[in-house]
Amino acid sequence: MVINLVTCSKQVGKSHAQIKLSERLPFFIVSDCVLECDYSVQTYPEYFLLTLDVSGTIPTQCQRCLEIFESDYSNYTELAICRDEKTAENLMEDYECLVNNQKDIDLISVITDELYLYAPEKHPELIECNGKI
């Protein structure tokens, strides 16, 4: 799902999308997953600020006990989409940054990358592993 940053920045309020992810998923996510995403874009002189609020349930294979379980996922991200490396370096203290000099961005790719960083790889508590380790 490609969004145009300029067009989205002119919209009032958040937009909503239901995203089905099936490609390039982390190895511990065992099948397709459907996530809800509320997003908005703000324009600044040197960058766009993409705000993502992503949530849903992810089928996960625990990397401790190898059992498959459903994990709740919820993540809020502010991503500065910068035109050049220098701008990104200046903003890294405040935001996660992405260098992209295009006006469009693939929301599915951004959310998939987010899963690599924030999706749980194992049960939250060791006791949930059913004594298999």
Q: Name which of 61, 4, 63, 5 is nearest 33 in CA terms.
A: 61
pLDDT in tens, 54-84: 999 999 999 989 999 998 999 999 999 999 9
Write down the pLDDT at residue 125: 84
The kind and range of the H/E element at 99 are: strand 96-99
Cα dihedral 111, 82, 38, 2 in deg (nearest 10)? -70
Write down the pTM of the prediction: 0.87
pLDDT in tens, 17-59: 999 999 999 999 998 899 999 999 999 999 999 999 999 999 9
Write down the pLDDT at residue 132: 60
Mean pLDDT of the chain: 92
List, in sequence order, every beta strand (DSSP E) within 5-88: 15-21, 33-43, 47-61, 68-82
Write down the pLDDT at residue 12: 86
CB 47 within 8 A of CB 96: no
Q: 133 pLDDT exceeds 60?
A: no
Write down the pLDDT at residue 87: 93
Q: 126 pLDDT exceeds 90?
A: no
Q: Residue 3 contacts by C-beta under 8 Å, 6 or more apart in sequence? A: 15, 39, 41, 104, 105, 107
Query: Which letter, b or e, does each residue of 15-45 get, where b requires 16 or more Cβ atoms within 10 Å of its Cβ?
Result: eeeebebeeebeebbeeebebebebbbeeee
